[in-house]
Amino acid sequence: MAVCDCFPELKSVTLAREARYRADPDKRAPEGPKSSLEIKVTSTGNLNERVETRNSKQSFVISEPKHVGGLADAPTPLEYLLSGAVGCYAAVFAFYAAKLGVDYESFEAVARTEFDVRGHMMPDAPFSGFQKVTIAIAVKSSAPLERLREVERLALAGCPGIATLQQPVPVESSLTLVT
């Protein structure tokens, strides 16, 4: 029994995407030349923010911990960042498992990181980003361990969420004064 009864469909979709790319790497994908995301974050007070996603039309709240003045009534921004990357990794793991015919019954990933926030709101403070991310994966499967390790390796190398954590990303901002 698979963790997802969609493995045959997932394999078909994954192979079709790969075939389209390999046939013409410069050709525009059906969903556009590149995937893009857009979110809107609105402060609601007490270091809480409401997030609206433009792609999936979802909304959720982000909250800062109490020790920095927040309400701590929702996940923190960094919890969402880490869970987003690892959630993406779980999906890419499923893509590769389906593509390679590696069935599994359950998948669980526990991610941990540490970061230094001693002076993150002061100039010349120590780097406050994630120092390192470790992911402990538990998979229930009858597949040989070597096959699961191959899926793990491919998923880690091919996941956009993990790649975003691994590589520096330019960030630009613009400010508009609303009167």
> Are the C-beta atoms of residues 99 and 11 closer than 8 Å to each other?
yes
CATH fold of 7-35+76-166: GMP Synthetase; Chain A, domain 3 (3.30.300)
Structure tokens at 60: 């959720």
Quote the pLDDT of residue 128.
Answer: 81
> Are the C-beta atoms of residues 8 and 101 closer than 8 Å to each other?
no
Tens digit of pLDDT per residue, the chain (179 long)? 456 566 788 888 888 888 888 888 887 776 655 678 899 999 999 999 999 999 889 999 999 999 888 999 999 999 999 999 999 999 999 999 999 999 999 999 999 999 887 777 778 888 888 999 999 999 999 999 999 999 999 999 999 999 999 998 999 999 999 99
Q: Which residues pair with 174 in a beta bridge?
A: none
Q: Strands 48-53 and 59-63: what pairing?
A: antiparallel
For the whole model, what pTM was predicted? 0.85
SS3 119: coil
Quote the pLDDT of residue 148.
Answer: 97
Query: Which residues, including other chains, have CB under 8 Å from residue 86's CB and lie 6 or more apart?
Result: 109, 111, 135, 161
SS3 98: helix
Tally of CB atoms within 10 A around 147: 16
Quote the pLDDT of residue 1.
Answer: 47
Q: What is the H or E stretch that residue 107 is in?
A: strand 106-115
